[in-house]
Amino acid sequence: MDQPRPETAGATCPFADTARAQPPRPAPRPAHVSLVDWLRYFRRDILSAQPERLYRARMAEFRTPFFRSFLCNDPDLVDLVLSGRPEDFPKSTRLFEGLAPLLGHSIFLTNGEEWRRQRRIVDPAFESGRLREIFPAMWDATRAAVDRLAAVADGRPFDAEPHTGHFALDVIFRALFSIPVEDATAQDIFTAFREHQRSRPLVNAGSLMGLPRWAPRLHGRRTRATAARIRKAIRTLVDQRVAQIAAGTAPDDLATRLMTTPDPVTGTLFSPEDMVDQVGIFVLAGHETSASALAWGLWLCARFPDWQDRVADEARAVIDPETIYFSNVSKLKLTRATFNETMRLYPPVPMLLREAAKDERFRGREVPAGSQVVISQWHLHRHERMWPDPHGFYPERWLSDEGRAPARHAFYPFSAGLRVCPGSAFAMTEGVLALAMILRHYRVETVPGHDPVPVAQLTVRGRDGIRLRLTPRET
Ligand code: HEM
């Protein structure tokens, strides 16, 4: 690495004249716990299952009877695992095998040549030029969200998460299939997704204990039933699209691009069954994450009203409520800083899991083949050796080179390297636009006594939702 590593432990925050209170984070577990207690914490939520020292440690090893894992906060190790030698650290599916009934062989779960082929087809659909073409779908979904929020803008408390989920799913359906989420099939998928989440698919004992691959995985009845319902509904949309492509009437949206782009190496296309797997992950990865970031972003603006007013002023100056150009989004600098700071404090994907394919040595310690390698964005983004005032909300840090500097080594909301999120530019455009538009139209306030407690479900959510109050702003 050419840049010196930041070492800012103990530094006072240079970004603000007045210190801001810290937004909530989960209480860490005690430093020493028995295996039974650890499992109990882990089952409840992986964030509160971690000890406080991880905010300062460069590396930590955990040994359980089922697996050994190494959490890497050292920037050189993070580079090595994600970008330097990613082939030697394939994705560990241990945490995600519970999603197999829903996602099949989707790009999120595969490795090796199968994954490479999928990625060669997916990447071109998200090139920057394509984003400009998708933008009108985002704009329509954002305006629809602002209209829907009018129903709760009476100052009474409501949970923001279902609203941001509705919005993010609307964006995905419009971008993928040119249909709003109110479409009957999209609605069926929307409700089935909610039920699927309630079945807690990630809590899969067989995969967490690392049973061999040939051993059958027992998925709960509700997990299997909701996954089958979602896949059937997606198949309906895919079959309709196959017919439209054959008839030459297909809209030029993401689904058409994914289904008509051949793999440049093998010349093969995604089959309809492949598409069901891929659409499943686009819907899941694309809406869960964006919904989480937007809900936390709104809550942070409610918690820090002076900053909220600055974002609202910017939105008023840049956005004409009737129309917006794609290029205007890049002018929303304070909003972008707010969205980045939100994902620093509440990264929608809090940890990445990889597996050592061969024996390794990390910081002088043996890492046997098969060990789980954890990159924890949750801890890196709040690392006390890298970020000044790491638990404080200071969007200002994103507005100067000095403030942004730690991000080079300690900010991975979208991961990095070969497996970086293909939807990152999509998500940044959608998130910044939605935050600006909502704050242009509404004032958000917290609900006293109801600060959200972050927990890791599929993404980082509020344990009891994210409660807000909304009132219209003078325009
Ligand atoms: C704020 C929003 C988002 C965040 C924070 C986010 C974050 C991430 C992260 C961290 C990964 C890597 C996971 C891992 O390696 O274990 C990932 C993968 C992925 N994301 Fe996103 N994502 C977001 C939005 C989206 C959107 C909008 C889409 C699609 C429309 C998308 C599609 C995907 C896909 C397909 C993968 C799997 C890529 C692969 O394994 O090769 N994401 N995302």
Mutate to test the pocket of ligand 1, among 421, 429, 458, 460 (most ligand atoms within 8 A of CB): 421
Q: Is the CB of 407 under 6 A from ligand 1?
A: no
Lowest mean pLDDT among 76-80, 134-138, 218-222, 329-333: 218-222
Q: Is the CB of 377 under 6 A from ligand 1?
A: no
Question: What is the arithmetic mean of pLDDT over 239-261?
Answer: 96
Q: Is the CB of 244 under 6 A from ligand 1?
A: no
In ligand 1, which atom is closest to the CA atom of 353? 16
* 319 or 474, higher pLDDT: 319
* 126 alpha carbon – ligand 1 mean position (Å): 12
* 290 alpha carbon – ligand 1 mean position (Å): 10
424 strand-pairing partners: none
* 118 alpha carbon – ligand 1 mean position (Å): 14
Q: What is the pLDDT of residues 163-211, one digit of tens each?
A: 999 999 999 999 999 999 999 999 999 888 888 877 766 544 444 445 4
Phi and psi of 147, rounded to 5°? Answer: -65, -45
Instruction: Tell me the percentage of the chain whose pLDDT exceeds 90.
Output: 73
**468: nearest Cα among 167, 161, 159, 168:** 159
**342: nearest Cα among 283, 302, 285, 309:** 302
Q: Is the CB of 278 under 6 A from ligand 1?
A: no
- pLDDT at residue 248 tops 70: yes
Q: Is the CB of 346 under 6 A from ligand 1?
A: no
Q: Tokens 């959200």 — which residue? A: 452
DSSP designation for 99: G
What six digits make up the tokens of 336? 């972008």
Question: What is the arithmetic mean of pLDDT over 31-45?
Answer: 75
Question: What is the arithmetic mean of pLDDT over 1-17?
Answer: 51
Per-residue pLDDT at 202: 57
| 206 residue type, one letter | G
The total of other beta-carbon atoms located within 10 Å of residue 69's CB is: 19
DSSP designation for 423: T
Answering whether pTM is above 0.85, one says yes
Q: Is the CB of 415 under 6 A from ligand 1?
A: yes
Q: What is the pLDDT of residues 277-294, one digit of tens each?
A: 999 999 989 899 999 999
Question: What is the arithmetic mean of pLDDT over 454-463?
Answer: 90
Report the chain's mean pLDDT, rounded to a whole number: 90
Question: What is the arithmetic mean of pLDDT over 18-39?
Answer: 79
The span from the CA of 302 to the CA of 279, in Å, is 34
In ligand 1, which atom is closest to the CA atom of 428? 1
Tell me the CB-side half-sphere exposure of residue 472, using CA atoms within 13 A. Answer: 7
- Inter-CA distances, 250 with 138, 260, 356, 471, Å: 19, 11, 44, 41
Q: What is the pLDDT of residues 359-401, one digit of tens each?
A: 999 999 999 999 999 999 999 999 999 999 999 999 999 999 9
* Topology given in CATH for the domain delimited by 85-349+413-472: Cytochrome p450 (1.10.630)
Asked if 367 and 404 touch (Cβ cutoff 8 Å), the reply is no
Per-residue pLDDT at 215: 47
Q: Is the CB of 296 under 6 A from ligand 1?
A: no
- pLDDT at residue 214 tops 50: no
Per-residue pLDDT at 8: 52
The span from the CA of 350 to the CA of 418, in Å, is 19
Q: Tokens 């205007």 — which residue? A: 328
Give the domain ranges of the chain: 85-349+413-472
User: Helical H runs in 248-304?
Assistant: 254-260, 272-303
Per-residue pLDDT at 458: 80
Q: What is the pLDDT of residues 332-355, one digit of tens each?
A: 999 999 999 999 999 999 999 999
